[in-house]
Structure 1
Amino acid sequence: MFNLANPPDRFTDNPFPHYDDLLENSPVTPQPDGSYLIVRHADLNAIYRDTATYISDKKQAFAPKFGPGSPLYVHHTTSLVFNDPPLHTRVRRIMTSALTPKALARMEPGLIDTVDHLLENLPQTPDLIEDFASTIPVQIIGNLLDIPMSERGPLRDWSLAILGVLEPTLTDAQLRAGNEAVSDFSAYLQGLIARRREVPGDPETDVLTRLIAGDKEGQLTEVELIQNCIFILNAGHETTTNLIGNGLALLHDNPDQKQRLVEEPRHIDTAIEEILRVASPNQFGNRETAAEVTIGGHRIAAGCNLHLCIGAANRDPEVFENAEVFDIARRPNRHLAFAGGPHVCVGLTLARMEGRIAISRLLNRFPDYHLLPDRTHGGRIRFRGYAHLPAELD
């Protein structure tokens, strides 16, 4: 039986054969700790849309994992993704009002400038993660919150440490690093928020000013404001880095599709969706049952944790024809990379824009780039991406 807490060797390098086996033979798999692993697209889609039966609140699950009152517990039980109404509704409404189409359109020229500047300064043999993919979302989110350039240095390490604790099993060192990152980031944000209260930015473009102001329904508390600013960085950093890095790796490994995209750049939007499907940056989500349910013939008690395998659902042959094939022109493409229902990713439009601009402009400038043999996967179960992606540019 597949055990998510003790996966097979090299699972993080190539989980897809295991996903295919689960889809065919065990779409609902009991876990040793009493939780369940769910892999079918139809099941995940139904769970995402039924927020009364399947809840996102993680106070019960995170108390023993992080310790009640710890910085990690406070962060992960206050941020948007692990909450239900009314907090989720209130925070999401304010975030959505800050990420309007007009605000995103105003960001696009700056994003293009950032990408072009990085491309102009790439060495002949860059690491496409360190030198390119990971830099883009840090700069964009830094711009969203109007964080001074000189103060952005720690942002990526904070994000990696805080998200790293969402893995199924943790070391004491990971817990310490995660708690320190939340504490350090919170202290930094307290000062930034105080400065912004004194001198507000333009609420049309400065998300932090918009979050401080709230909306006609009210304002966020100081804790809610700080923890959801951390969430914005975390949610938009590692996943977007992975989208760009995974996309460049997939195109390299499928040279026919890469050449097609070079020759027919109109396919960039569907290519981004296919990258999201084939190598979803976020491989797993979670829900907790609020009542007894039956899924795939298994009776599951209330209060049970469900591991939702997005990476497997996006390969479900019931939904995707030739699911193992990477096809940049695939239509339709009903992937679940951004989850679904009321909790669908609030930053999905921004993530798509970053992926589209980064990949298309790199391909336009370096159509013959190729990867060197020693690429390194990130080593995470929940998040799929590369730690290092060395390349040679033509």
Structure 2
Amino acid sequence: MFDLSNPPDGFVENPFPHYDDLLAVSPVLRQPDGSVLICKHADLNAIYRDTTLYISDKKKAFAPKFGEGSPLFEHHTTSLVFNDPPLHTRVRRIMTSALTPKALARMEPGLINTVDHLLDQIPENPDLIEDFASLIPIQIIGNLLDVPMEERGPLRDWSLAILGALEPTLGAEELALGHKAVSEFKAYLQDLIARRRVKRGDPETDVLTRLIDGDDGGKLSEIELIQNCIFILNAGHETTTNLIGSSLALMHDHDEQKQKLLADPALLPKAVEEVLRFRSPNQFGNRETTAPVTIGGVEIAAGTNLHLCIGAANRDPDVFETAEKFDIARHPNRHLAFAGGPHVCVGLTLARMEGRIALQRFLARFPKYSLGSQRQGGGRIRFHGYARLPAHLG
């Protein structure tokens, strides 16, 4: 039996053959702790869109995991992703208003300049994660909140520690590191917010000022404000790093697809979508049932935690022809990398733009790059990507 809290050897590095087996044999699988693993695309899509039977609130699940009232508990039960209306509605409305197509169009030249500047400075034998992929989202999200450049150093480590606490199993060291990261991040943001209240930014371009101001629906409390600033910085960081890193790894490993893209740059948007499907940066989501339900013939009680396996759903043969094939011309491509329904990722357009520009500018400079043999996976179940990606630029 497949146990997500104790997965088989090799699963963390390469979960995809295991997903194929689950889809074929046990697409709805009860776990030893009473939770249920859901793998089919149609089931995930239906769950994402039904906010009555399936809720995102995680207070019940996170209290024993993090300790009620702890820093991690406060963060993960206050941030946008693990909340339902009315808080989810208020925070999402403010964020969405700051990420309009017009606002994103204004950001694109700065993003191109950021990527080009990084490529100007990249060493001949870089680690494509440390020297490129991880630096892009931290600068872009830092710009959104107008975090001073000299204060951005700790943001990546804080983000990794806080998101790492969402893994299915958590050791004492990881737990302590996550609590410490939230506390330090919170203290920093309290100071940044106090400074921004004194010297306001332009709400048209400064998301922090917009969050402080609130909207017609009211203002966020201080805790809601702080924890959702942490969420913005975290959510836009690791997943986009994984998207960019996986894009470069997949293009290297599938040279025929790279050559196809170089020959036809118009395929770039489809290429990014295929990376999102084939190596989804976020492999799992969660919901909790509010009433008894039956999914795939399995009866599930109210109050059950559901593990929504995005990585498996994006390989579902009922939806994707030759799902195991990396095909940058794939169409249609109805992947669930950004979830769906009211909780669809608020930053999906920004993430796509970052992935598109990073891949485009990198390949234009270094079309003959090669990867070394010492690549290192991210070591996580929920978030899939690389920790190290040594390369030679040629």
Q: What TM-score results when the alignment is normalised by the length of structure 2? A: 1.00
Deviations 1:248-292 (A, max 9, x none): 101111000001111111100000000000000000000000000
Taking only the aligned residue pairs, the percentage that are identical comes to 77
Tell me, in whole angstroms, the C-alpha distance in 2 between the residues paired with 1:105 and 1:192.
26
Tell me, in whole angstroms, the C-alpha distance in 2 between the residues paired with 1:211 and 1:90.
10
Partner of 2:214: 214
Partner of 1:68: 68
Partner of 1:344: 344
Q: What TM-score results when the alignment is normalised by the length of structure 1? A: 1.00
Counterpart of 2:378, as a letter, is G
Cα deviation, residue 183, structure 1: 0.4
Tell me, in whole angstroms, the C-alpha distance in 1 between the residues paired with 2:296 and 2:344.
24
Partner of 2:146: 146
Give the 3-state SS of the residue equivalent to 1:251 in structure 2: helix
Cα deviation, residue 203, structure 1: 0.6
Deviations 1:366-394 (A, max 9, x none): 00011111100001000000000000002
Tell me, in whole angstroms, the C-alpha distance in 1 between the residues paired with 2:221 and 2:105.
29
Asked if residue 353 in structure 1 is aligned to residue 353 in structure 2, the reply is yes
Asked if residue 26 in structure 1 is aligned to residue 38 in structure 2, the reply is no
Counterpart of 1:200, as a letter, is R
8 Å Cα contact 1:80-1:228 kept in structure 2: yes
Cα deviation, residue 209, structure 1: 0.5
Tell me, in whole angstroms, the C-alpha distance in 1 between the residues paired with 2:114 and 2:374.
27
Partner of 2:177: 177
Tell me, in whole angstroms, the C-alpha distance in 2 between the residues paired with 1:116 and 1:263.
21
Tell me, in whole angstroms, the C-alpha distance in 2 between the residues paired with 1:103 and 1:187.
29
Partner of 2:104: 104
Structural RMSD (CA): 0.5
Cα deviation, residue 102, structure 1: 1.5
Partner of 2:228: 228
Q: Gapped runs of 5+ residues in structure 2? A: none
Cα deviation, residue 216, structure 1: 1.1
Partner of 2:380: 380
Q: Gapped runs of 5+ residues in structure 1? A: none
Deviations 1:128-186 (A, max 9, x none): 00000000000001100000000000000000000000000011110110000000000
8 Å Cα contact 1:71-1:182 kept in structure 2: yes
Partner of 1:243: 243
Tell me, in whole angstroms, the C-alpha distance in 2 between the residues paired with 1:318 and 1:147.
45
Partner of 1:189: 189
Tell me, in whole angstroms, the C-alpha distance in 2 between the residues paired with 1:217 and 1:68.
29
State how many pairs are aligned: 394
Cα deviation, residue 98, structure 1: 1.2
Partner of 2:311: 311
Give the 3-state SS of the residue equivalent to 2:18 in structure 1: helix
Asked if residue 124 in structure 1 is aligned to residue 150 in structure 2, the reply is no
Cα deviation, residue 99, structure 1: 1.1
Partner of 2:155: 155
Counterpart of 1:290, as a letter, is T
Tell me, in whole angstroms, the C-alpha distance in 2 between the residues paired with 1:226 and 1:104.
23
8 Å Cα contact 1:98-1:211 kept in structure 2: no
